DNA sequence: GTCCGTCGTCGAAGCGCTTCGACCCTCGGC
DNA sequence: GCCGAGGGTCGAAGCGCTTCGACGACGGAC
């Protein structure tokens, strides 16, 4: 039994616990990790000492000895055109699920660039990495492949080989929107999408939704026009007004841009078109957002929490060396509310 | 020179660097930390070896030996009524500034409760703590006081004794709004505030803004009515309609609720009141948000980034044992745009 | 020329924890 | 009654780094 005392900080160490419980340090460790059998009587004595002393294992020492930091990194996007509440939902879901797996979450922003990732991973500050806002040809992807630490991408790059990715099946989401509208009898629809910059930098979800819309429209003999849309009120206004000027017979709008929803409704009102009587609206957005809009929006919810949970559980699987699927696409569902109806009455 | 090799993970250790540079391990350490004088020639040889080998210090080992994790915790709120983009701005500003001080950021959500804070702090996972969304009588405050780690609150509790807090001076912000409107000649204004829940749980910023509005209104002989406001379109609509029904002569609105801005404008439009001709609008919100609205909103910007930076720099000061002020209130400014004008024409 | 202070470097002792091998004891099988 | 197999516990050796005391070399002061 080494004779070390309580830390200067006042925190008890594992040695204090061992002494208090009258066992060896290693026994305390095994009680905590469960990696060896410990008799029930010893176990409860140790646990009691832990509670009495208010012992919390030192994270640094544990990381050093076990080579596991019990921390995962979450790389968040900072850029324009990503809807912030969705990101926050991801983030909180990730933190919450990580805690269930005894891990904490280190927050990185992409502005430190690849160097930040390398530093974090090489320094063993984290055991694994979650990356959001992945582009089709993301510079971070090659880095992740050679990083030597488990990583999970939220979003799909063009080449998913050797990677692990989770996302909503946005292609299917786009299809669902069109199918719903086609089923109601709409023959001419428009997709009001993400800001142009988002398409330009090849962000997966925007492209995939658009592709799904176009594909389903063709299949259902629906005319679909798609256009990007900035996040400020005046651009939305121009887009919507211009859209109906060119295509007065459009009877439904698919919107994948939360920030545009409010201004779009204003623009429709200004044009004298009511929702859903004159124009049906389907959104691809968090369910809560659609629920709180007025009228309540029919939507394909983006299950941010579910994706976050999945991402964590995948990275945990990889940490345990379990095989995990390269691509996990969550099936979207359609929530029908008050913003869609049969056209033309 | 200890003979240890490269890690199993392939990462070189400080011993590898020392061997490569032909110096002692401690010399490498001193080169890195700058805590002892090292000759220029040795220094650059060591740095070269570090670069060649791609060495990154092991965070756990460093934390263990130096008793500094070089990580700070950021406790984010999850609750309703806090505007998410503002939170994200804080968070990214915190991450960015922390990096400038060689620190990383661990993300905590308040739903793990005080226990999470205790675990993190006692386990020496973090050196300091930043807490957002502080209530007037926050349960976490007593904990923070006895935590034994530097902490900074973003927001003001009722009793700031022994604490360190930063925030925008919302009281002054409220005054500024009223002073601007009074200066334009408005005599009857309303404050459309945060959701009722936010006032109920005693969140500082909402109360302080309201107090500032009321105080300045009295001073300037302006009638001010204040009312909370939920974040969904229909509540906003009811509030606004009800407000003008009771007080038809209100000529200006102060809004501290980003989510309410869009619906409020819609409601005003529905009432046939134009902005700014019939009703002036001043918002308390992120500048960017006001800039992107239509019309561009006169506002008192909430400088999320600046507050985040300040919070980090305060906690860093405390880590260095420097004395820091208990309360730091950032002076608000008024950005005049297109949503305010003289009343009644 | 000697002494002392300073600069630059080294070696070794931890930091608090995990983990491996060893050991003792008990129990069942023969 | 003896042996082997576990179960339960211990001690010690690290994990990679920081930091402290020590020490040699050099140079200025006397």
pLDDT tens string B184-215: 999 999 999 999 999 998 888 999 999 999 99
How much is the average pLDDT of A245-271?
A: 93
Is there contact between B328 and strand D, defined as CB under 7 Å from any strand atom?
no
Of residues A5 and A51, the one with the higher pLDDT is A51
Chain B closest CA to A217's CA: distance in Å? 32
DSSP A214-260: HHHHHHTT-EEEEE---SSHHHHHHHHHHHHHH-TT--EEEE--HHH
DSSP element (H, E) containing B219: helix B204-219
pLDDT at site B275: 92
Percent of chain B with pLDDT over 90: 77
Nucleotide in closest CA–C1' contact with A27:
D9
CB B235 within 8 A of CB B262: no
Give B302: exposed, middle or buried? Use CB within 10 Å, 0-12, 13-18, 19+: buried
**Binning pLDDT at 50, 70 and 90, where does residue A2 land?**
very low
**CA–CA separation, B97 vs A14, rounded Å?**
35
Mapped onto helix, strand or coil, the DSSP state of residue B329 is strand
CB A316 within 8 A of CB B257: no
Residue B112 carries which DSSP code?
Answer: G
pLDDT at site B50: 97
Residue from A103, A104, A74 nearest A88 by CA: A74
- Contacts with A314 (C-beta within 8 Å, 6 or more apart), sequence order: A152, A164, A166, A324, A328
Alpha-helical regions (H) of chain A? 14-21, 25-33, 40-53, 59-66, 84-100, 113-122, 140-145, 170-184, 196-200, 204-219, 233-246, 258-270, 287-292, 304-319
Nearest residue on chain A to B113, judged by CA atoms?
A: A96
pLDDT tens string B251-262: 999 999 988 998
Which residue among A109, A124, A293 places its CB closest to the CB of B95?
A109
Q: Which nucleotides of D are covered by protein (CB under 7 A)?
A: 7-12, 14-21
**CA–CA separation, A320 vs A318, rounded Å?**
5
Of residues A110 and B101, the one with the higher pLDDT is B101
């Amino acid at each position: 039994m080494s004779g070390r005392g309580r830390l200067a900080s006042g925190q008890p160490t594992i040695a204090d616990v061992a002494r208090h419980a009258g066992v060896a340090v290693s026994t305390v460790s095994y009680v905590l990790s469960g990696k060896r059998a410990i008799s029930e009587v010893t176990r409860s004595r140790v646990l009691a000492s832990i509670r009495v002393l208010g012992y919390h294992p030192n994270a640094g020492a544990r990381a050093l000895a076990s080579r596991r930091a019990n921390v995962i990194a979450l790389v968040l996007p900072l850029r324009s055109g990503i809807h912030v509440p969705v990101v926050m939902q991801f983030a909180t879901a990730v933190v919450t699920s990580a805690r269930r797996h005894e891990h904490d979450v280190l927050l990185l922003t992409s502005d430190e660039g690849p160097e930040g990732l390398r530093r974090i991973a090489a320094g063993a500050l984290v055991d694994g990495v979650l990356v959001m806002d992945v582009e089709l040809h993301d510079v971070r992807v090659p880095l992740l492949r050679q990083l030597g630490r488990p990583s999970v991408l939220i979003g799909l790059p063009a080449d998913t080989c050797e990677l692990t990715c989770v996302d909503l099946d946005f292609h299917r989401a786009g299809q669902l929107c069109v199918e719903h509208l086609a089923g109601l009898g709409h023959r001419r629809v428009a997709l009001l999408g993400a800001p142009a910059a988002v398409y330009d930098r090849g962000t997966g979800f925007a492209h995939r939704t658009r592709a799904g819309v176009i594909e389903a429209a063709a299949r259902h003999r629906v005319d679909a026009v798609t256009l990007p849309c900035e996040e400020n009120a005046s651009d939305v206004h121009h887009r919507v007004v211009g859209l109906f000027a060119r295509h007065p017979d459009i009877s439904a709008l698919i919107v994948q841009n939360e920030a545009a929803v409010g201004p779009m409704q204003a623009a429709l009102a200004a044009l004298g078109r009511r929702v859903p009587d004159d124009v049906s609206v389907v959104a691809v957005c968090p369910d809560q957002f659609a629920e709180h809009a007025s009228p309540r929006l029919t939507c394909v919810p983006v299950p941010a929490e579910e994706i976050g949970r999945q991402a964590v559980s995948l990275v945990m699987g990889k940490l345990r060396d379990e095989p995990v699927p390269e691509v996990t696409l969550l099936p979207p569902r359609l929530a029908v509310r008050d913003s869609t109806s049969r056209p033309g009455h």
